[in-house]
Structure formats: structure tokens, C-alpha cells
Amino acid sequence: MRVVVIGGSGHIGTFLVPRLVRAGHEVINISRGTRTAYTEAPEWRHVRQVVADRQREDGEGTFGDRVAGLGPEVVVDLVCFTLDSATALVERLRGEIGHLLHCGSVWRHGPADKLPISEATGTPPVGEYGIQKDRIARMLKEETAAGGLVTTSLHPGHIVGPGWHPIGPLGSLDPAVWYALSAGQPLKIPGSGAELMHHVHADDVAQAFERAIDRREAASGEDFDIVAPSALNVRGYARIAAGWFGRTASLEPVTWEEFRETTAPEHAEASWEHLHRSQYLSIDKARTLLGYAPRHEPEAAVLESVRWLVDHGELTVAGPLDVRPATRF
């Protein structure tokens, strides 16, 4: 099939595009052309690259025409963030393609009331990003239920993989957290330390998209939470991470007020956004309908990211990693 991937040079596309090529699909990648995939793969030689500024073309009302003009049978939209953008694409592609797949976010669910969270039991979203992702998912479901375009939305957790910084043990991208853990220095943690984060390796997300394409009938009109088999809490994550450097985590629980006083505002806000949601998601629906089988536990996925960053000089730590490369099961 001819598959158009919108935003295929990013986290998920780095793994999804080569997967689709290996599966025998003709793949076209639409991107801004400002970067290449995070990891090299020979399959990219067989991918047609189309440069486009989606935001500008959405404003001009021409982006849907660009996508339709490529003659796809399947479209995978990895970089859509507003209901208006998603609706415009659906309306242009209705009757033109066989399947539209959208990348959402587990932040379509709000702070957890009951664990694990399922697609049907999540609380209402908080924050504009999650609200928009939830509205898009609901619109797509209604579109298919009404007999329109066949759609599927997949909602990843905190995506990790080689080439970019993972959401760290305090729910932020603060590099000082990694240095403290690698040095065995005291680390102030806000709240109880039991708050949860649910990561997922980018290749496992790519696997889910590939399986949804292969099982279009099962995926039609459905939404799926896509995460690792387990989740990490703050205490456990910090202790595991310190162990990678041969250290023991020294954790000091503090109030959120105290944490904000000693943490850069952008990192403190990111910590709050991730930790107050305290999410742990079920993958039962994806396993049952798609055959989703994640290969990476969250700590193994994060270790892969951290190892890449240290090896490439993009993360300053106090000492070398004292652990073998993660083993995939």
C-alpha cells in the first residue's frame, strides 16, 4: 500500500517508517525538512521525502490538498495538535483514502482516579494540549461511527528512545537530576514519591501503528492507549537510575512549595504536569484488538536513551554507566 506519514522524521517515525518499508509498503514522508530521523536505517533510501510547512498550509487551507495529491491509501498523522487541523484533514480525505491514523497522547486522560486507566475510564483532560487531543480522538471516533472515513487514534505515553532526552525521575527534562543521581548526591523529590509516569519506547509505538494498519477492520473507529507493560513511580525510577551509575539514590521528600523554590520554573512546571496526573495505563485493548506486544520495559527504554545521550556528550554525568546495555525480551 502507499502510506503517507506526516511528521515521519520525529520520534515515532524514526522507527515506523523503516518498519513500513520492510513490510513492503510504498512510503512517503511529509516533514518540514529541518531534520533527519534520530537513528540511521537503510530503509530510508526507499522513502520519498516531501517538504511542507503544515502550520502554514493549514492556515492557507491547502495542506489537505497536498496530502490527497500524493494518492495515499493510508495516512499516518504524527504531528496534529488541534481539532481544527484534524477536522480539516478528515474532511479533505473523506472518500479518498482507506484509513487515517492519528497520534494522540495519554494526556487525553486527566489525573488518575482509578488504576490502571483504560480508554473508557480516564478522567477528563486538563490543560489545552490534552483537551485538544481528547477532542480529536472523539471527533475521529464519531467520523467513523457515522459511516465516514475509517480512522484510528493511538495515544502514547512518555516516548523514549535513542537521540532525545527522556522524561526523568522527577517528571521533567532537568539534566541536574541525572547528575545528582549519577553522583550519589541528595535529590529533593516533590510530593510522596509514589507518583507514576508511564513511558513507552518509540519503536513500541511504531509497532502499534504498524499493527493498526495491518488490522484495519479491528482498529476502525477505535482509540488505543500505547505504553510499556509497566509504569515507574518517582522513588523507584530514581533508585533504578542511580543504580546504573553504581550509586544509591539519596531522596529527600519535600512539599511542592519547597520544590518550586529550589527548581527552575520550567522544570518545576514540567514536574507538576507529569506527576500530578500520576498515570498508569492499561494496554489490554491494544493487546486484544491489535496484537500489541511491547518489547521494552520502561527502565530499559530510558536506559537506552540515557546511554545514547552520555555516549554522544549530550548529558553530563558524574561517572560512567555501570550497567550492560538493556536486553530486549
Q: Summarize the confidence of residues 239-248 as an average pLDDT.
A: 98
Helix (H) or strand (E) holding 202: helix 202-214
Please tell me the distance from the alpha carbon of residue 43 to that of residue 72, in angstroms, as a whole number.
Answer: 19
Strand partners, 200: 159
CA 290 vs CA 167, 209, 217, 220, 226: distances in Å: 27, 9, 10, 11, 11
Helix (H) or strand (E) holding 154: strand 151-156
DSSP helix/strand/coil, 167: coil
pTM: 0.96
DSSP helix/strand/coil, 28: strand
Q: Summarize the confidence of residues 4-30 as an average pLDDT.
A: 97
Query: Around 261, how many Cα atoms within 13 Å sit in the side-chain half-sphere?
Result: 6
Name the percent of the chain lying above pLDDT 70.
98
What pLDDT sits at residue 329?
A: 37
Please tell me the distance from the alpha carbon of residue 304 to that of residue 161, in angstroms, as a whole number.
Answer: 6
| 224 Ramachandran zone, left/alpha/beta (phi>0; psi -120 to 50) | beta
Instruction: Report the relative pairing of strands 232-233 and 196-197 from DSSP bridges.
Output: antiparallel
Model confidence over 282-314: pLDDT tens digits? 999 999 999 999 999 999 999 999 999 999 999
DSSP helix/strand/coil, 221: coil
Please tell me the distance from the alpha carbon of residue 310 to that of residue 316, in angstroms, as a whole number.
Answer: 7
Please tell me the distance from the alpha carbon of residue 83 to that of residue 134, in angstroms, as a whole number.
Answer: 9
Q: How many CB atoms lie within 10 A of CB 120?
A: 8
Mean per-residue pLDDT over the chain, rounded: 96
Please tell me the distance from the alpha carbon of residue 295 to that of residue 326, in angstroms, as a whole number.
Answer: 11
Name the percent of the chain lying above pLDDT 90.
94
Instruction: Report the relative pairing of strands 186-190 and 196-197 from DSSP bridges.
Output: unpaired
Which among 110, 197, 213 has a CA at the least distance from the CA of 158?
A: 197
What pLDDT sits at residue 327?
A: 45
Please tell me the distance from the alpha carbon of residue 125 to that of residue 135, in angstroms, as a whole number.
Answer: 10
Instruction: Report the relative pairing of strands 26-31 and 151-156 from DSSP bridges.
Output: unpaired
Q: Summarize the confidence of residues 178-197 as an average pLDDT.
A: 97
CA gyration radius for the chain? 20
What pLDDT sits at residue 35?
A: 72
What pLDDT sits at residue 325?
A: 58
Q: How many CB atoms lie within 10 A of CB 15?
A: 23
∠ at Cα 312 (311, 314), nearest 5°? 110
Q: 221 pLDDT exceeds 50?
A: yes
Q: Summarize the confidence of residues 11-21 as an average pLDDT.
A: 97
